[in-house]
Amino acid sequence: MSFIAGLGNPGPEYAATRHNIGFVLVDRLAARWHAALALEKKFKARLARVEREGKNVILGQPQTFMNDSGEAVGAVGRFYQLPAERILIVVDDADLPLGKLRLRPEGSSGGHHGLESIEQQLGTRGYPRLRLGIGRRSEDHREITAYVLDRFDAAERKTMQEVLDRAIQQVECWLSAGISEAMNKFNGAVTAPPEKGKQ
């Protein structure tokens, strides 16, 4: 069994913001796989269960708010006795340029509070994470709360559609062929929009 959790914040005011790109990818996967996400209070998450190529897969969107994502991820992982390497976290990354994807089998949180929470709950950094680059307004501007909680502009949305299409292929490759092949085939950048300044 595998668990794919996209991180984000619950509520309509956060829908389609940069910080919620993990939620968006899970919604896209659910639609593609004809799976219906539903709130399960005991897990503090919206979950869907589906079979892909003979394998059981859980899709999830923690409903704890981003910084406490580990509560939901940990609850699902413990209940189903999942090894950390079968829990794939999809998350936004402001330190990656807009339009870039990076799948890794493990690593640090990079200051992302959602990943910090998951690491704390799982007791390891050894879980795969798919980072979707959202860029930042400027490299020297570290306070990015307003930026990540804002929505993509038209040019950025076009790029992110390409990113999501590629990320879906990468997740499906991870499920069918493993993380090494998924990294080799899909890590990297799609065509980014013309820069209006530094991303």
Q: Are 66 and 92 in contact (CB under 8 A)?
A: no
**pLDDT score of 166:** 97
Is residue 19 part of the annotated active site? The answer reads yes
**Distance between CA atoms of 125 and 87, rounded to whole angstroms?**
11
Q: Which residues is 189 bridged to in the sheet?
A: 100
User: Active site residue: 19, 34, 112, 113, which one?
Assistant: 19
For residue 138, the SS3 value is: coil
% of the chain exceeding 70 in pLDDT: 88
Q: What is the pLDDT of residues 6-31, one digit of tens each?
A: 999 999 988 888 889 999 999 999 99
Q: What is the pLDDT of residues 42-59, one digit of tens each?
A: 999 999 999 997 899 999
More confident residue, 26 or 112: 26
Q: What is the pLDDT of residues 57-81, one digit of tens each?
A: 999 999 999 999 999 999 999 999 9
Q: Are 113 and 67 in contact (CB under 8 A)?
A: yes
Q: How many residues does the chain have?
A: 199
**pLDDT score of 23:** 97
Q: Are 175 and 128 in contact (CB under 8 A)?
A: no
**pLDDT score of 198:** 42
